[in-house]
Amino acid sequence: MSELTTGTDLLASARMDKARLVVAVRGDIDMNNSPELRRAALDLIDVQKPSKLVMNLSDVSYMDSSAIAVLVELLRRMGRAKERMALTNLQPRVKGLLEIARLNTIFEVAADEADALK
Amino acid sequence: MSESGQPSPSHRSEAAMDTFSIEIDSDTAALKAVRQAVEGFAARCGCDERACDDIGLCLNEALANVIRHAYKGFGGRPIALTAGAEGDRFVMRLRDWGSGVNPEAVRRPPKEQDLLTPGGLGLICLHRLMTEVKYEPQGDGMLLTMARMKCSAPSDAAKEST
């Protein structure tokens, strides 16, 4: 397991667990900072070339549609395969927005990191 | 308000007992503070937690659409918001002096395939979570009125788009 430098405060931590990239996102994500999250996450994916991306959203209490668009772009970068990207520890508002968007089925949604890394 | 009828590009707000008004720039950095201020005001007006969440999200999406589409991403342009309780509803009115293009005329009704296009999900949120969404061209911009019941069961809030 190796800790990674993220280059943004929006990623509280990032590490490789075997070939899987595990990142913890923090803060409210809206149109103002979603481009920063996008860039940081894409950079990590491009460098690490993980087999799976696990995003821990326990410290994200709010997301808007621009943040959802970033998640979808990351899924596309991971090959559009549901099993290649997991969202964990969803807070109610984030979970609700995914349901409104009817995107809760295109991502793997796991209870926590351990569940996503099984 | 300036003599031209447009609000000055500042961040002035006023919250009376029953009305909240604010004039902001078309700056994405203002989104979070405005959303949180209106969510707090809605709670003080008697809106339940689910309603406050819906109101905040829809306001965020409407403001983002104004910045992205009406002002084509340019900052420093005026946006005026008034919000308040009207009977058993919470009503928000968002005025801009942008392109005057009605997003609903471009994309109406919101369809599933629009979810991942810019602005598509925002419009879907408005239609699913608000009981009223009305765009009124003003000649020099747009007036958007959004309303929602102050209290409702979660199942009542997720109104299906028609």
Query: What ipTM is given for this predicted complex?
Result: 0.89
Largest CA distance in chain B: 46
Q: Is the peptide bond before B109 cis (omega within 30 degrees of 0)?
A: yes
pLDDT score, position A71: 94
- Which residues of chain A are within 8 Å of residue B57 when distances are taken between CB atoms? 64, 93, 97
Mean pLDDT over residues A22-50, rounded? 96
Whether residue B64 and residue A65 make contact (CB cut-off 8 A), yes or no, is yes
- Burial zone of A27 (CB within 10 Å; 0-12 exposed, 13-18 middle, 19+ buried): middle
User: Using CB atoms, which residue from A32, A68, A69 is nearest to B31?
Assistant: A32
pTM, two decimals, is: 0.86
Task: Answer for the pair B157, B50: CB distance below 8 angstroms, yes or no.
Answer: yes
Contact of B31 with chain A, judged by CB distance below 8 Å, is answered with: yes
Contact of B158 with chain A, judged by CB distance below 8 Å, is answered with: yes
pLDDT score, position B117: 56
| DSSP assigned state of B48 | -
- Which residues of chain B are within 8 Å of residue A37 when distances are taken between CB atoms? none
Q: Could you say which residues of chain B have pLDDT below 50?
A: 1-10, 113-114, 154-162
- Which residues of chain B are within 8 Å of residue A72 when distances are taken between CB atoms? 116
| DSSP assigned state of B82 | E
pLDDT score, position B15: 54
Place of tokens 């203002």: B30
Higher pLDDT, A38 or B105: A38
Phi, psi (deg, nearest 5) at residue B48: -80, 175
The shortest C-alpha distance from A1 to chain B (Å) reads: 34
Phi, psi (deg, nearest 5) at residue B90: -110, 125
Could you give the CA distance from residue B131 to residue B86 in angstroms, rounded to a whole number?
Answer: 13
Largest CA distance in chain A: 36
Task: Answer for the pair A64, A38: CB distance below 8 angstroms, yes or no.
Answer: no
Among residues B130, B128, B134, which one has the least CA distance to residue B149?
A: B130
The shortest C-alpha distance from A5 to chain B (Å) reads: 25
Whether residue A100 and residue B158 make contact (CB cut-off 8 A), yes or no, is yes
Confidence of residue A108 (pLDDT cuts 50, 70, 90): very high
Could you give the CA distance from residue B103 to residue B84 in angstroms, rounded to a whole number?
Answer: 24
Mean pLDDT over residues A4-31, rounded? 95
The shortest C-alpha distance from A102 to chain B (Å) reads: 8
Which strands sit side by side in the sheet containing B19-25, from one edge to the other?
B12-15, B19-25, B78-86, B89-96, B142-149, B132-137
Pick the residue from chain A with its C-alpha nearest to B110.
A101
**Portion 51-70 of B in contact with A at CB < 8 A:** 53, 56-57, 60-61, 64, 67-68
Whether residue A65 and residue B122 make contact (CB cut-off 8 A), yes or no, is yes
pLDDT score, position A36: 97
Higher pLDDT, A116 or A83: A116
Higher pLDDT, B7 or A54: A54
pLDDT score, position A47: 95
Higher pLDDT, A102 or A18: A18
Q: Which residues contact B57 (CB under 8 A, 6 or more apart)?
A: A64, A93, A97, B35, B125, B129
pLDDT score, position A54: 98
